[in-house]
A and B are shown apart, each in its own frame.
Chain A
Amino acid sequence: MEPQNPPLFRIQNPNPNPNSLPNNNNVPGQNDVDLIIDSFLSLPDLPSLPSPLSIDSSFDRAVEKLFEASGGDDSVHDRITDRTLQLASLLQDSIRRVSRKRASLHNSNSWPLPHELTIKVFSMVDTKSLMQVMACCTLFQQSAMDSFCYTNIDLTTVNVGNRVVRSMILNAGKELRSLKVGCRDIAANSLLTGSFLAALCYNHSLLGNLLRSLHIYNLLETKSLCRALLVCSNLTDLKIVGLNIQSPLDSVLDCLTRKCQHLFLETEIGRSSYICGLSFERNCPNLTSLSLIGYNISDRNAYLLINGLRKLKYLNLSRTYEIKGTFFSDVNHDCKDSLIETLILRDCKSLEQRNICRFLDSLLRGHFSFIRHIDVSNNAGFTYDEFRICSKPEFLLKKLNEERPGLTFVAEFRSPSSSSSSSSSSSSSSSSSSSSSSSSSEDSSSSSGTDDEDGDD
Chain B
Amino acid sequence: MSEFDLAVMKPETMKSYIWLQTADGSIQQVEQEVAMFCPMICQEVIQKGVGSSKNHAISLPQRVNPAMFSLILDYCRFHQLPGRSNKELKTYDERFIRMDTKRLCELTSAADSLQLKPLVDLTSRALARIIEGKTPEEIREIFHLPDDLTEEEKLEPLKNTMDDPRIRLLNRLYAKKRKELKERERLKDVEVEEHVDERSVDDLLSFINGRDPKVVKMSKGKKKKKKKKDLKIVSSNDIHEKESHDLHSKQQCVEETGSSVPNLPSAEDDNSMPKAGSEDEDIDDEIDPAMREMLDREVEDFAQRLNSNWVRSLGQERRPVHFSINGNGTTRRRTGPSP
Q: List residues of A whose CB falls within 8 A of some B CB.
A: 100-104, 106-107, 110-114, 117, 120-122, 124-126, 129, 131-141, 144-145, 147, 164, 167-168, 170-171, 173-175, 195, 198, 201-206, 208-210, 223, 226-227, 230-231, 233-234, 254-255, 257-259, 282-283
Contacts and interface: CB of A to CB of B under 8 A. Distances in A.
Interface stretch (B36-44, B245-253, B262-270): B245-253
Interface of B: 63, 102, 105-106, 108-109, 112, 120, 124-125, 127-128, 131-136, 139-140, 143-150, 153-154, 157-162, 170-171, 174, 246-247, 249-256, 303-304, 307-308, 311-312, 314-315, 320, 322, 324, 326, 332, 334, 336-337
A147 B160 contact: no
Nearest to B243: A174
Given A104-B148, A132-B135, A254-B336, 14 more contacts: A106-B146, A112-B108, A114-B112, A117-B112, A139-B145, A140-B139, A144-B157, A170-B162, A171-B158, A174-B246, A205-B252, A206-B251, A208-B254, A230-B322
Given A100-B148, A133-B139, A234-B326, A227 B247 contact: no
Contacts of B143: 111
**A interface: dominant SS:** helix
A282 B337 contact: yes
Nearest to B146: A103
B131 A174 contact: no
A226 B249 CA distance: 27
A227 B312 contact: yes
Given A167-B158, A195-B308, A206-B247, A226 B315 contact: yes
B78 to A, nearest CB: 23
Given A114-B112, A129-B131, A209-B254, A124 B148 contact: no
Given A103-B146, A137-B149, A113 B109 contact: yes
Given A124-B124, A124-B128, A135-B136, A174 B249 contact: yes
A140 B21 CA distance: 33
B322 A136 contact: no
Given A121-B124, A124-B128, A129-B131, A114 B139 contact: no
29 contacts: A100-B148, A102-B146, A104-B148, A113-B105, A113-B112, A114-B109, A121-B124, A129-B133, A131-B158, A133-B136, A133-B139, A135-B136, A136-B139, A136-B149, A168-B158, A174-B246, A202-B304, A203-B303, A204-B252, A204-B253, A204-B307, A206-B247, A210-B250, A223-B315, A227-B312, A230-B320, A230-B322, A234-B326, A254-B336
A205 B140 CA distance: 39
Contact of B315 (A147, A204, A230, A258): A230
Contacts of A170: 160-162
Given A104-B148, A205-B252, A233 B324 contact: yes
Contact of B128 (A125, A140, A255): A125
Contacts of A134: 157-158
A203 B174 contact: yes
A138 B136 CA distance: 12
Nearest to A198: B308
Contacts of B133: 129
Contact of B254 (A113, A141, A231): A231
A64 B161 CA distance: 52
Contact of B246 (A129, A147, A255): A147
Given A203-B174, A257-B334, A138 B149 contact: yes
Given A124-B124, A125-B128, A223-B315, A131 B109 contact: no
Contacts of B124: 117, 120-121, 124
Contacts of B148: 100-101, 103-104, 107, 137-138
Contact of A230 (B102, B140, B159, B311): B311
A149 to B, nearest CB: 11
A205 B247 contact: no
Contacts of A283: 334
A140 B246 CA distance: 21
A226 to B, nearest CB: 6
A233 B311 CA distance: 14
Contact of A204 (B136, B153, B251, B322): B251
A145 B156 CA distance: 12
B136 A126 contact: no
Contacts of A106: 145-146
Contacts of A203: 170-171, 174, 247, 251, 303, 307
Contacts of A201: 307-308, 311
Contact of B147 (A112, A137, A254): A137
Contacts of A173: 161, 246-247
A137 B120 CA distance: 24
A117 B111 CA distance: 11
Given A121-B128, A227-B315, A111 B145 contact: yes
Contacts of A208: 254
Contacts of A132: 134-136, 139
Contacts of A137: 140, 145-149
